[in-house]
Amino acid sequence: MSIPHCFLALSFLLLFSCHLLNGLEDTEFGHAIDRKLLGLKRKEKLSHFKFYWHDIVGGRNPTSVAVVPPTLKLNTTTAFGLVNMIDNPLTLGPELSSKLVGKAQGFYASASQSEIDLLMAMNFAFSEGKYNGSTITILGRNCVFNKVREMPVIGGSGLFRFARGYAEARTHWFNLKSGDATVEYNVYVMHY
Ligand X SMILES: *[C@@H]1O[C@H](CO)[C@@H](O)[C@H](O)[C@H]1NC(C)=O
Stretch that binds ligand X, among 49-57, 63-71, 128-136, 145-153 (CB under 6 A): 128-136
CB-nearer residue toward ligand X: 101 or 151: 101
Q: Does 95 bind ligand X (CB under 6 A)?
A: no
Site string for ligand X, 28-67 (x = CB under 6 A): ----------------------------------------
Q: Is residue 128 at the binding interface for ligand X, with CB under 6 A as the rule?
A: yes
Q: Which of residues 70-89 bind ligand X (CB under 6 A)?
A: 75
Contacting residue, 58, 69, 133, 179, with ligand X by CB under 6 A? 133
Confirm if 185 and 169 have CB atoms less than 8 A apart.
Answer: yes
Looking at residue 16, its amino acid is F
- Cβ-based burial of 28 (10 A; exposed 0-12, middle 13-18, buried ≥19): exposed
Q: Which of 132, 162, 170, 178 binds ligand X (CB under 6 A)?
A: 132
Alpha helices in 24-174 (DSSP H): none
* Cα gap 106→112, rounded to integer Å: 19
Say which amino acid occupies 45: K
Residues 6+ apart with CB under 8 A from 146: none
State the residues that interact with ligand X by CB under 6 A: 75, 127-128, 132-133
